[in-house]
Amino acid sequence: MSSRCRWLIAVSLLGLASAALAQDIPANMPKRKPGLWEMQATGMGGQPQSTKFCLDADTDTAMYKMGSHMNGQACSKLKIDVQGANKVVTDAVCKINTPNGAVNMTSHSETTYQGDTAYSTQGHITYDPAIMGHAEMSIVSSGRWVGQCAAGQKPGDMIMPNGQTMNIKDMQGH
């Protein structure tokens, strides 16, 4: 998968994963177990991209809140509906600043949690104007707890598909 496609998937996942952009997280939002998580995402018919992530409770909360300030994104609509104990439905309409100008992004996602050790998300995103020739995309992602964080890892450390490590808290200026 090209780096351009990976960028598109990353922007799209931001729209899905950072659902609580401009509002408080619902009190009944499912929590993920602290430790090392493996997450996979597939979009645009490409190969699954796998990321590992060291998570604690503070980082889990921060991930939900971080999106509104990244990439110049501003959401005019954001609805998070926690249904029962294990399902979260998110709808958003956001403006994303891309290297080629502003793009309106509309997203709908449904995440189902299997306790605090696994989840799966299905989402659909539309772009106006299209990004890199894509006016819409379906994304499937999942995450599972794989154990304790490795020695030397700190909460927020993310190991990207290319092996590069970055810390999401550093990206937020924490």
Q: Is the Cβ–Cβ distance between 82 and 112 less than 8 Å?
A: no
Residue type, 121: T
Banded model confidence at residue 92, pLDDT cuts 50, 70, 90 = confident
pLDDT digits (tens, 9 = 90+) for 56-69: 988 887 776 654 34
Compute the average pLDDT of residues 85-104: 87
Banded model confidence at residue 20, pLDDT cuts 50, 70, 90 = very low
pLDDT digits (tens, 9 = 90+) for 31-65: 899 999 999 988 756 678 889 999 998 888 777 66
Q: For residues 113 and 45, which has the higher predicted lDDT (pLDDT)? A: 113
Give pLDDT, residue 64.
Answer: 67
Q: Which residue has the tokens 């005019």?
A: 76
pLDDT at 24 over 80: no
> Please, what sign has the CA dihedral across residues 34, 20, 11, 115?
positive
pTM over 0.85: no
For residues 133 and 43, what is the distance between their CA atoms, to the nearest angstrom? 14
**Would you list the domain boundaries of the chain?**
3-171
For residues 52 and 156, what is the distance between their CA atoms, to the nearest angstrom? 10
Banded model confidence at residue 97, pLDDT cuts 50, 70, 90 = confident
Compute the average pLDDT of residues 110-137: 92
For residues 101 and 129, what is the distance between their CA atoms, to the nearest angstrom? 9
